[in-house]
Chain A
Amino acid sequence: MAGIFNRMKRERFIYLLLLPGLLYFIIYRYLPMAGLVISFQDYNPFVGIWKSEWVGFKHFARMFEDSEVIHVLINTLQISVLQIFVAFPFSIILALMLNALRNETYKKLIQSMVYLPHFLSWVVVVGIFVVFMRGEGLINSILAQFGLSGIPFLTEPALFKPIIVLQTIWKEAGWGTIIFLAALSGVNPALYEAAVIDGASRFRQLWHVTLPAIRGVIVTLFILRLGSVLDTGFEHIFLMLNPFNMESGNVLDTYVYYKGIQQGNISFATSVGMFKGVIGLILVVSAGKLAKRFGEDGLY
């Protein structure tokens, strides 16, 4: 016991730094977590959490009673996997390309341009894409001038997922570079100088100096991204769905919306959130374990 006490005394300044944040998490993040119990209730705001009717797993059952849900989960995972393995690395590549620029002014200019689309809402972004991709939209009229037949970008089910990923890249890739550029700016220039003296090519410098410097950040972001594997961004997908691509584009978020989440059924919405969280937790914990095996710190 004395050991603990001594240790805590030694670390008292660290605890002082920790305390405000810890209090914040307890009060504003963990107290409300008690509210998660409403996913096992028919929540009624008039009687409050403690007196609402308990219904067990009714809301979870509702989510899974439909055979369609398997199909929906597959769509969700497919889009997520594409996002994680295509859109996520794209930010890294873009950051590396920016990092390779030697003219600082040009680099700053490009940086300030690529992060712009992040600030537009999906309504606006999808609106612009529709203008370009409609059956008689700008892209197809250009194709027509070359005598090519038009492509039904918005209604062809097979194109739905690639276009969703393309839009995500377009909107978020530039914003995503910021974190990597910050990490890259920490690289000691002396290391590059040493590499050049050793006669290392640009590619070898990238492999042996640049990437190791940002590996930690990449792994951290990757594991965190796995946690939201069932979140595909409701608004974005919803705006892109139409009767023709429904089979390919209906994901968990839109599925529960059509199931009637918009009727203000708070308990049902909470159950779906719980389900997503549990899946995310499993992935994050296993990815963390895996990262440790490869010598990374992981998240905790």
Chain B
Amino acid sequence: MNTRNVAEKIWDCFNIAALAVIASLMLLPFVHIFAVSFSSLEDVLQKDFILWPSHWTADSYRVIFQSRPFISSLGVTVTITVLGTLVSLILTTSMAYALTRNILGQRVILLMIIFTILFNAGMIPVYLVVKSTGLINSLWSLIIPGAISSFNLIVIRQFFLNIPGELSEAALIDGANEIRTFCSIILPLSKPALATFALFYAVGYWNKYFEGILYLNDARKWPVQVVLRQMVIMNETTSTLGSDVLLQFENQPPPVTIQMAAILVATLPILILYPFLQKHFAKGVMIGSVKG
């Protein structure tokens, strides 16, 4: 008993230390980006990798926050994130629950959903459908066409399957209908899963970029990712083969300090979401739900 306790203590210490190392490695780039965004350009140019500004300056942030399109696009993104996450969660969970029940056509529908993960219809056919359902230039075009992620649906269903069947059966026998059972038994028991997929959807909506460009004709409706990316556009992935130099110079990106500030501004609000959701990951939310 004693030796085992010692062994477990050593293992605990190792675990704590190893996680500290891993976490610092993953934090490193953010410290770097933070430091660059608050540095002057000449300081950044002279060093390979800064982790702390030697002369603090907030000039980069001034450039970003003074821009009018930026502020209004932030509003757009918050709206679609809140609204979209709600819509997505409702549609996904209700459909996922229905598919845990052994109903007619269950297998076919599940197969159909998996099919959509594997085959991508392509941009133009989707555009045509979005257009004929009247969503072009409406903020709904950023929500409806991608409302359900097939991946999330399948995984949520897996979570629901882990809830012991007796619980819902008991409710059904008590005379509650399926919708009531879903709302009052299944959803409260699935808080960790709901928090997880709320996060997944929210991050997805927060990062909406291409749909904004494709479906919205009025730049006033652009989400923040489009506006920020336009402010700091980076040309690296475009190949410069043929070296049409003037073409490169047509698009001289702003200093790296501003680019890094923009990255932080674009991600910080959504980063804060996770710590808030963490309390729903507390242990033992679900009672006796171990399967098998």
Contact = CB atoms under 8 A, between A and B. Distances in A.
A77 interface: no
Interface string B5-25: 000100110011011101111
Main secondary structure of the interface of A (DSSP, over half): helix
B120 interface: yes
Given A13-B178, A202-B11, A281-B115, A32 B23 contact: no
B193 to A, nearest CB: 6
Contacts of B144: 24, 28
Contacts of B128: 32, 35
Contacts, number: 268
A116 B99 contact: no
A47 interface: no
Interface residues of B, number: 102
A29 B282 CA distance: 36
Contacts of A300: 106-107, 110-111, 114
B104 interface: yes
Interface stretch (A80-88, A107-115, A146-154): A107-115
Interface in A189-218: 189-191, 201-202, 209, 212-213, 215-217
Interface string B142-161: 00111110110111001101
Interface of B: 4, 8, 11-12, 15-16, 18-20, 22-27, 29-30, 32-33, 48-49, 91-92, 94-95, 97-99, 101, 103-104, 106-107, 109-126, 128-130, 133, 144-148, 150-151, 153-155, 158-159, 161-162, 177-179, 182, 192-193, 195-196, 199-200, 203, 234, 236-237, 263, 267, 270-271, 274-275, 278, 281-292
12 contacts: A17-B182, A33-B119, A98-B19, A101-B15, A111-B274, A120-B33, A179-B155, A187-B283, A213-B290, A227-B114, A235-B237, A238-B237
Interface of A: 4, 7-8, 11, 13-18, 20-22, 24-25, 27-36, 38, 45, 49, 94, 97-98, 100-102, 106, 108-117, 119-120, 123-125, 127-128, 131-132, 137-138, 170, 174, 178-179, 181-191, 201-202, 209, 212-213, 215-217, 220-221, 224, 227-228, 235, 238-239, 266, 269-270, 273-274, 276-277, 280-281, 284, 297, 299-300
